[in-house]
Structure 1
Amino acid sequence: MTLVSQDRTKGGNPYTFEEFVTKRDQVDWFRDDPFLRKVVKKYTGDQHEAVEKALLSFSPTVSKKMNQLAERAARPEVRPYMMHYDAFNNRIDRVVRPMETQQLEKLVFGEGLFSSNIAPWESFVKRMLIHQLGEAGVTCPLTCTHGLIALLGEFPDADLPELKEILLHTKEGLDGDFAIGAQFMSEIQGGSDLPANLLEAVPDGKRYYLYGNKFFCSVAHADYSVVTAKITGTDKVSTFIVPSWLPGDKEKEKRNGYEINRIKWKMGTAELPTGEIQYDGAIAYPIGPKDKGIAVAVGIVLTLSRLEIGIACAGFMLRAYREASLYSDFRTVFGKKVKDYPLSARKLKYIKNAAQRTTAGAFKIYDLFLKLEKPLNPGIKSEQPMEIRKQLFNLRELVLLQKMCTTNEGADVLREAISIFGGHGVMEEFSSLPRIFRDVVVNEQWEGPRNLLLTQIYRDLQRVAEWYAPEEFVENVLEGTQQETIERYSIQLIDLLQKPVLGEVDEASMEAANEWDSFCDAFFKEYQSVALQEIV
């Protein structure tokens, strides 16, 4: 009798995922994405050759080495935790993070993405590629650092040389070390409600001492943070820069007058340490006008964060489409490849369109951002030329719409991409998509959840109506689409601005609120579609 040789380790089943895994891991996220390269070429103009060369050099690192580090750091057993005391009972509040996250952070920040030596478009696309990792414990710190740098650049203070040193450390680096920034604004009584801040800033000459609590502080391991507080005896929120350690104290792990109570347990961005901080005399440096802290924090820091979230969603969706497409071309079920079933094909078509729309829209908004002089000034000044005022207003609303709409659609896109994988789609070690799905849901909540932004956009449009008619706003934002489409959205917007969207709760106001929500989504998708048409 002849015995048939078989692979007993697999029970005689020769099936393997090797082909899919090999193809996925060999993809160069920029070089092998013709759509992204086409968008970059359109927007970089005469800088294209230099920018593409830099991206082609960088992309293999993010596609392979950075991605491997991000995947390893995502395991639950290595998530950040607090070490409050050292062996000698000294309070140190050390945020313990895995070696992989620290290596990834070194690589990402080592690119000097906000240095004066890097072109804005090169930085932009590199960040979009980095966002394809998911949050990964590095992209929120990167975003917060950008906001801190912009704030310091907008309000230089010769009387506080410490701020100049902080700017140098975060923007250009010191001896190859790039500092990390954070923004601590939320308090327990109101996350986005900054006027409700109770943290107290006690003046002492040119500096201040902080007392009180901040309840939701991402990037708890940062070197410097942007903190909002009320100066003693005032009811106006001011903005401050707070070093985590005073000179010479970082090596001793002696914090600057504050303690980190704990690290939050979040549904997403789990690699990112988000803490609760108790201030007890932390030294802080004022930045910007003392009576306009909210305008400073929102107009500069949060605007950049919201802008970055749109860039992140583009990265998330590009990765979702790439991996779902590769798997659908590999996996065979019931005798056919997944991609050859109409129900799967329609999902892939939607994911592709959403990814490309979101990417094209992000580029178009950033292009407007770069073309406007001082786009981050808090508030729109009445003495500016009317055309500039309108463009600044367009940018403000587009950033809000992008943040709100792309995070909402991003969750849909990631969920649809996961479904292409079937049961394997929810396996954490099989795909990055479950982790990125949780990250996009978290992104939807911070820097202003959906209802807050819907309210803000509505109020903004009402407030400027006397010098910027709703129909003109629609026409300017949707320039390039069909006239009948512009007229339809104009009529809808004019009608909605007369309805009780922000009125007392009753059936009429809830219906109006529902119409407003739907309008904003449809309006922004139309903007994205125009941006996509300009590419293809």
Structure 2
Amino acid sequence: MTDHAPRSQLATHRVDNQPPAPRDRDLFALDQPLREALAREAPDWVARRLEALGAAVGSREVQALGEAANRHPPELRLFDRHGRRLDEVVYHPAYHELMHLAFDNGWHAVAWEEEHHGGHQAHVAALYLLTQAEPGFCCPLTMTHAAIPALRREPQVFDEWRFRLLAWDYDERAVPAWEKPAVTLGMAMTEKQGGSDVRANTTHAERASDGYRLTGHKWFCSAPMSDAFLTLAQTDEGLSCFLVPRFTPDGQRNALEIQRLKDKCGNRANASAEIEFRDAYGEAVGEPGRGIPTILEMVQQTRLDAATAPAGMMRQALLEAWSHVSQRQAFGRALGEQPLMRRVIADMALESEASLALVMRTARAFDTPGNAHEQALARLLPALGKYWHNKRGPGFMAEAMECLGGIGYVEETPLARLYREAPVNSIWEGSGNVICLDVLRVFDRHPECFDALREELATARGLSPAYARAVAALENAFSEPHASLEANARWLTQRMAQCLQAALLLQHAPSEVSDSFCRSRLDDSVSPVYGVLPLDMPLDAILARIEP
């Protein structure tokens, strides 16, 4: 992009004491915690492949695409000019450019192309970077990626779709899947009367000569322009999983009718819809009556992505705040040199680094076959990260916004849309209470997961007094009766996530970072407000890692 400096001398005053205009930034090269995490968690090829993506997402061009996709949200087009039913969603060109950035470079497919060889680490790290361009368009990326394990339960369906699902391409056209080089997949599970309680779903499926016919509604359908959707419907055998394509095998538009698009708080670039199945064609996926275990194969993947997105958003907000306070003068010196602001930014930097460490460790567990310990962690850690990172996200975005002052509250900076975006990953794929109860159910049904947690926490034994006290308190809490555990499920989930973050930082991060994290998160007198740190924190060392 050509630089044309904006005019600073205006009619009544000169514009000064402002940070420089946005510039191209290499978000991979600037991210020391990410590069260190990849060095320990992933094969060398992952970092090499991410280098180009980091430069792209940090460019002014791609950042402008994210802004445009939010300023011009998708629009519903129900009928053509002659009254024929279309059920199409029209997106701004910026959205399609972002989709090309992700899909043309294979970030939806890499976990399966390089499965057990760093593929999940590559996918998670790419999602972390892509989120910093625009979180909303990452929804169809996540679901297309995550559909593969569920579809594997039905080999015939999987064989029919997998080559287009894994193709390095993006085709926005509303045409049958067999006319496209590449496709995307969505999900439609939630109904009005049940929400997270999908067993209360009333959509039903009847056998037909060529598959099934589905009738019913879905309260939330994510990415409604996808080429097919995984969904749940009742059958004689019980709740079952189905793949509902946008077009029927004879090339007709399927009876999947969009009622309206949701007017959401955030996630503006991405469409979410209410839909009706009106005798819609579908194909069974997985064992009849076992729809929940089948769809959970997908949800386990999407939950890891929902834990990763807030880590990427925190990183973007942190960079925006640090860039501003490093340049902005107040009361005779730069804001970034003032003690209280330094403590706020340093505290946010600790949170950002800890969240990244946990999702990268989880991705390694996903990519380690034949290891019982890693498989147990892969079952547990996505829920812990999804719950805790998203609980920390909204306050993080608000604090970053406050660092910029009034300009942070307007839509011209990314912080306003990050703030509006922050709650969504906590809500979909299971809201906070659902996630915490799922964690307890995992321990009940898979006690090896608790053993794996203990083993993982033991790796940092003796490295921090605050950490030792926190782990002991966690052990004691699990000795309470089951009724108390359920009532205390939020604290338990939070503490497990924080202790795992601490264990990773104690082993791998500089001591200034790990010790500061443990003392500011795990001691008894901890404030929920960012910036309330012990007075002797090594701020210089922590701040130096934000933008080396």
> After TM superposition, is the score higher than 0.5?
yes
Q: Which amino acid aligns with 1:74?
A: N
Q: Which amino acid aligns with 1:481?
A: A
Task: Determine the C-alpha separation between the residues in 2 that align with 1:408 and 1:150.
Answer: 28
Task: Determine the C-alpha separation between the residues in 1 that align with 2:358 and 2:56.
Answer: 26
Task: Determine the C-alpha separation between the residues in 2 that align with 1:214 and 1:175.
Answer: 26
Deviations 1:256-315 (A, max 9, x none): 1121010011101111111111111211111111121111112x1111110111111211
Q: Which residue of 1 aligns with 2:245?
A: 243
Q: Which residue of 2 aligns with 1:380?
A: none
Aligned positions of 1:91-110 closer than 5 A: 91-110=85-104
Q: Which residue of 2 aligns with 1:140?
A: 139
Deviation (angstroms), 1:190: 1.2
Q: Which residue of 2 aligns with 1:63?
A: 58
Task: Determine the C-alpha separation between the residues in 2 that align with 1:38 and 1:124.
Answer: 15
Instruction: Tell me, yes or no, if structure 1 residue 166 matches structure 2 residue 149.
Output: no
Change in 2 beyond 3 A, CA 1:522/1:10 = farther
Instruction: Tell me, yes or no, if structure 1 residue 409 matches structure 2 residue 365.
Output: no
RMSD between superposed Cα atoms in Å? 2.3
Instruction: Tell me, yes or no, if structure 1 residue 399 matches structure 2 residue 382.
Output: yes
Task: Determine the C-alpha separation between the residues in 2 that align with 1:224 and 1:108.
Answer: 19
Task: Determine the C-alpha separation between the residues in 2 that align with 1:407 and 1:528.
Answer: 14
Task: Determine the C-alpha separation between the residues in 1 that align with 2:500 and 2:343.
Answer: 23
Deviation (angstroms), 1:58: 2.4
Deviations 1:154-206 (A, max 9, x none): 4312xx5xx42322111125798431110100111111111111111111145
Q: Which amino acid aligns with 1:153?
A: R
Q: Which residue of 2 aligns with 1:127?
A: 127
Q: Which residue of 1 aligns with 2:175?
A: none
Query: Aligned match of 1:296 in 277, 280, 294?
Result: 294
Aligned positions of 1:379-394 closer than 5 A: 388=372, 391-394=374-377
Instruction: Tell me, yes or no, if structure 1 residue 209 matches structure 2 residue 198.
Output: no
Q: Which residue of 1 aligns with 2:150?
A: 151
Query: Aligned match of 1:518 in 486, 491, 494?
Result: 491
Q: Which residue of 1 aligns with 2:440?
A: 458
Q: Which residue of 2 aligns with 1:500?
A: 484
CA contact (8 A) 2:478 2:485 kept: no
Q: Which residue of 2 aligns with 1:74?
A: 70
CA contact (8 A) 2:148 2:298 kept: no
Q: Which residue of 2 aligns with 1:437?
A: 419
Change in 2 beyond 3 A, CA 1:238/1:337 = same
Q: Which amino acid aligns with 1:146?
A: H
Q: Secondary structure at the match of 1:26?
A: coil
Q: Secondary structure at the match of 2:479?
A: helix
Q: Which residue of 1 aligns with 2:284?
A: 286
Q: Which amino acid aligns with 1:319?
A: Q
Deviation (angstroms), 1:519: 3.0
Aligned positions of 1:336-375 closer than 5 A: 336-373=333-370
Deviation (angstroms), 1:477: 3.4
Task: Determine the C-alpha separation between the residues in 1 that align with 2:353 and 2:8.
Answer: 44
Q: Which residue of 2 aligns with 1:36?
A: 34
Instruction: Tell me, yes or no, if structure 1 residue 491 matches structure 2 residue 495.
Output: no
Q: Which amino acid aligns with 2:78?
A: H
CA contact (8 A) 1:239 1:288 kept: yes
Task: Determine the C-alpha separation between the residues in 2 that align with 1:10 and 1:330.
Answer: 24
CA contact (8 A) 1:185 1:194 kept: yes
CA contact (8 A) 1:110 1:178 kept: no
Change in 2 beyond 3 A, CA 1:97/1:28 = same
CA contact (8 A) 1:318 1:355 kept: yes
CA contact (8 A) 1:190 1:196 kept: yes
Task: Determine the C-alpha separation between the residues in 2 that align with 1:413 and 1:306.
Answer: 20
Q: Which residue of 2 aligns with 1:27?
A: 25
Deviation (angstroms), 1:7: 7.2
Q: Secondary structure at the match of 1:208?
A: strand
Q: Which amino acid aligns with 2:161?
A: I
Change in 2 beyond 3 A, CA 1:81/1:469 = closer
Q: Which residue of 1 aligns with 2:540?
A: none
Q: Secondary structure at the match of 2:27?
A: coil
Change in 2 beyond 3 A, CA 1:112/1:473 = closer
Change in 2 beyond 3 A, CA 1:175/1:111 = closer
Task: Determine the C-alpha separation between the residues in 2 that align with 1:523 and 1:8.
Answer: 55
Q: Which residue of 1 aligns with 2:542?
A: none
Q: Which residue of 2 aligns with 1:481?
A: 460
CA contact (8 A) 1:112 1:178 kept: no
Q: Which amino acid aligns with 1:72?
A: A
Q: Which residue of 2 aligns with 1:85?
A: 79
Q: Secondary structure at the match of 1:57?
A: helix
Deviations 1:399-440 (A, max 9, x none): 1111111100112211111111111111111x2122122222
Q: Which amino acid aligns with 1:307?
A: L
Equivalent pairs, count: 481
Change in 2 beyond 3 A, CA 1:153/1:487 = same
Deviations 1:449-505 (A, max 9, x none): 11111122223324455xx596x455223132236443332112212x444354xxx
Deviations 1:216-261 (A, max 9, x none): 1110111111011112x34x11111111123684xxxx63112101
CA contact (8 A) 1:168 1:174 kept: no
Q: Which has the higher contact order (CA 8 A, sep 6+)?
A: 2
Overall identity of the aligned pairs, in %: 24
CA contact (8 A) 1:360 1:535 kept: no
CA contact (8 A) 2:105 2:168 kept: no
Deviation (angstroms), 1:342: 2.3
Following TM superposition, where does structure 1 have runs of at least 4 consecutive aligned residues deviating by more than 6 angstroms? none
Q: Which amino acid aligns with 2:484?
A: P
Note the residue ranges of structure 2 that are not aligned, 5 or more in a row. Answer: 1-6, 172-180, 463-467, 510-548
Deviation (angstroms), 1:16: 5.9
Aligned positions of 1:250-269 closer than 5 A: 255-269=253-267
Change in 2 beyond 3 A, CA 1:229/1:173 = farther
Note the residue ranges of structure 1 that are not aligned, 5 or more in a row. Answer: 1-5, 374-386, 503-512
Q: Secondary structure at the match of 2:303?
A: helix
CA contact (8 A) 2:106 2:166 kept: yes
Instruction: Tell me, yes or no, if structure 1 residue 326 matches structure 2 residue 328.
Output: no
Instruction: Tell me, yes or no, if structure 1 residue 312 matches structure 2 residue 309.
Output: yes
